[in-house]
Chain A
């Protein structure tokens, strides 16, 4: 493990959405974690648990309701001055979950990918700009020919790769990758994951890798956080989480990983977990150390019961 300063530090982050007078969604409800330079942090959890919201709050598409976010030594949770904002813009990038909704349909692929380097003037000539775009297209497995097409003229997986190219071309220190490979077929998935690893080796960037595919998360992550209903219920190194899951939600998640083996899969039964029937109250729990860096959210009694 690295002993240096974390690149990103999230402390007690809350993000609420007010739908109307009577109804407020507490999408993220007091979440803390850290990401170190050059590491990959896997964030997993059920649909609607707040993963995308965490990503969007960190990159400041939302104003956090409460909590503190420190990035590269700067406090980015409140109002930011111009230099801070610009540094954030260059050094943190997000790959969005819904590719079609995040790509401007009226812009050609070339303009989309070059957007960040255009705004921040990261090249010295049009030829260099072109070269950077073409190189990026090739790296994500697209054709240089594709530069002149519009987003709707691509298949789902190709579109996703445009989003990846747009983020990686900036050479950021932190990439928030929200389900960035889930729309890709296995072969391209592997290609993109290998590419992300290569870029990490070269530039030492860190990833916040949001995904629901646990086999891929296990493969790529150094550390993992398990999110449920806006609470981080368990965190630890990849080995700690996969070899010794403690929280019942984590256990049910691991039991549900589909195996690509039809005869087994067709008779498989899953472990189920229903928070509302479990008698567990996340608000009452506190972080308990299981050993090493392994933490679980529990009350003292729950902790006792789960670890015995």
Chain B
């Protein structure tokens, strides 16, 4: 079956005005998303994951400047397929036509998207009533059902609670329920399960998968939890300092990573056998995004950096039809090298685990 593209981001570049100058948060991002598929965006804190997602929803902060790019979104408008550029739309049109109904987002910080003065029941039913004119009674029943689906016990009592009366993880699940209330085509989840324990996390991920399967919706997960990525993603986009540095299928990224930053990311996650006194961290810190970055932004932290990295930003090199990485190490003129032994050992361990599991 042909894949049906629903979102196409091209050459996206976004800066912010701040008191100490202009901060270049997104520096040329291309991204594609197809119907029914799941993409995970991973990357260091501050690399631009949330800003990218907000651009996709047309809800950038007021001090944001879009330097270039387009965000084309294709959706079904009363039976006719329609493509719009979110970045060119009026805020009020986005709110009326797109957000909630076609694209819904679960925000990283649940308190910022909940209204402290309104009961959670009201907050879940509000958008159903607004977008679909669902009768109040029916909307309320659906709200109760959604709350119980996200694992909140005694939902009929809970709908009368205000956000501050809920635990952190409950709030996060309420936000998920709000996002699902209007059956969107695209669900963007920004760190949706960070406040959840593993059992509830597993349940929420199963639930989203389930809905995805039934309604054929697309999901973007923004997460630093590689365990979550491993569980849900078909494709992975790795971001560093406002750019995509590697993209591929889940297997390509986990078992055949090619970018030194991806190596670092995979090395830094503790597996349960981590016995070392200290956890591995990628040396150095991310670049200051207020200053121009000559060459490859990751070069100063990259022990495999070549001379050219300090001068010229690498293009995306193609490895397979689905796998790309932006590192000069893949240039044919680059010296031959092997991936670091720790990461090779870790991949070997994962593969062995898997065989072991098969027996």
Contacts and interface: CB of A to CB of B under 8 A. Distances in A.
Interface of A: 17, 19, 23, 25, 44-48, 51-53, 97-101, 141, 143, 145, 148-149, 152-159, 178-179, 182-191, 193-194, 197, 212-216, 218-219, 252-253, 256-266, 268, 270, 272-273
| Residue with the highest number of chain B CB atoms closer than 10 Å, among A48, A185, A252 | A185
A256 B199 contact: yes
Given A141-B285, A145-B288, A264-B353, A100 B112 contact: yes
11 contacts: A19-B157, A47-B151, A47-B169, A52-B167, A156-B108, A156-B109, A187-B265, A187-B268, A187-B282, A212-B201, A262-B233
B195 interface: yes
B129 interface: no
Interface in B97-154: 108-112, 151
Contact of A219 (B63, B196, B270, B357): B270
B109 A182 contact: no
A98 B230 contact: no
Nearest to B236: A262
Contacts of B161: 19
B341 to A, nearest CB: 19
B231 A258 contact: yes
Contact of A100 (B109, B265, B354): B109
Contacts of B65: none
Interface stretch (B81-89, B271-279, B322-330): B271-279
Interface stretch (B14-22, B27-35, B310-318): B14-22
Nearest to B161: A19
Nearest to A254: B198
A212 B198 contact: yes
Interface string B269-310: 111101000111110010010100000000000000000000
B226 A186 contact: yes
B165 A47 contact: no
Nearest to A47: B169
Contacts of B230: 258-262, 264-266
B111 A100 contact: yes
Interface in B194-235: 194-202, 224-231, 233
Contacts of B260: none
A258 B198 contact: yes
A194 B282 CA distance: 12
B202 A270 contact: yes
Contacts of B279: 189-190, 193-194, 219
Nearest to A145: B20
B197 A253 contact: yes
A215 B272 contact: yes
B288 A258 contact: no
A155 B111 contact: no
Given A23-B157, A258-B198, A262-B230, A184 B354 contact: no
Interface string B178-198: 000000000000110011111
Interface of B: 16, 18-20, 42-46, 50, 61, 63, 108-112, 151, 157, 160-161, 165-173, 190-191, 194-202, 224-231, 233, 250-251, 254, 264-266, 268-272, 274, 278-282, 285, 288, 290, 350, 353-354, 357
Contact of A253 (B151, B198, B280): B198
A153 B16 contact: yes
A47 B233 CA distance: 24
A99 B168 contact: no
B247 to A, nearest CB: 15
Contacts of A188: 44-45
Contact of A270 (B165, B172, B199): B199
Contacts of A158: 45-46
Contact of A99 (B44, B109, B170, B357): B109
Contacts of A141: 285
A208 B23 CA distance: 37
Contacts of A185: 42-45, 224, 265
Given A158-B45, A187-B264, A253-B197, A215 B270 contact: yes
B200 A260 contact: no
Contact of B272 (A101, A187, A218): A218
A218 to B, nearest CB: 7
B336 to A, nearest CB: 27
B168 to A, nearest CB: 4
B254 A261 contact: yes
B251 A263 contact: yes
A166 B16 CA distance: 25
A98 B111 contact: yes
B231 A265 contact: yes
Nearest to A156: B108
Contacts of B160: 19
A40 to B, nearest CB: 14
Nearest to B261: A187
Contacts of B108: 156, 183
A188 B284 CA distance: 11
| Residue with the highest number of chain A CB atoms closer than 10 Å, among B229, B250, B268 | B268
Contacts of B191: 156, 183
A155 B271 CA distance: 26
A194 B281 contact: yes
B251 A262 contact: yes
B41 to A, nearest CB: 11
Contacts of B169: 47-48, 212
Contacts of B63: 153
A147 B288 CA distance: 14
A261 B198 CA distance: 16
Nearest to B269: A186
A45 B141 CA distance: 30
Contacts of A48: 166-167, 169-170
| Residue with the highest number of chain B CB atoms closer than 10 Å, among A19, A186, A257, A270 | A186
